[in-house]
Structure 1
């Protein structure tokens, strides 16, 4: 029986992420675009469980990882998901895993 990401330790999550990246690399080499996309999304979800949701603040605007020039305004957090909307988008509410948001570096 497979464990949920929420039940895994940091070490198990890191192992899972490495395995998913390896499978994604192979899928990309074989031209399996859909499989590649699914595996990359799974890795993003696993990474979210390695992050602390407290590092993300309601009302803040964060750049979206892998989408240069795209920003996301957080309305609220629910687990490892940030709910809000994309700036310059259609204004509809959506949820992104917190691993897709780039945290500003602390100075």
Structure 2
């Protein structure tokens, strides 16, 4: 574990400020090309725009799955409704990830990411 330096402290202050002021922040200079990020966003958008019958194949409330989709993940725990549809891709470290688990409509772009 390394010690924080003044640059770390400044980054933390900026993230807090952006979160409090704007409600979000964007990480840049992380090494992932903007073109790849744009394609992932488009691919996942296309997943969400599919028919419910297609998406329900991926629906789960089981966070131990490597690929799953749901709405209102915290529905049973939160005091307020916060509707959102989310596609989760959570490969387990140290285990094989089967690309076939990914929805075909966004498989290629997620693998490139």
TM-score for the superposition, normalised by structure 1: 0.29
Larger gyration radius, structure 1 or structure 2:
2
Calculate the TM-score normalised by the size of structure 2: 0.28
The higher relative CO (CA closer than 8 Å, separation ≥ 6) is in 2
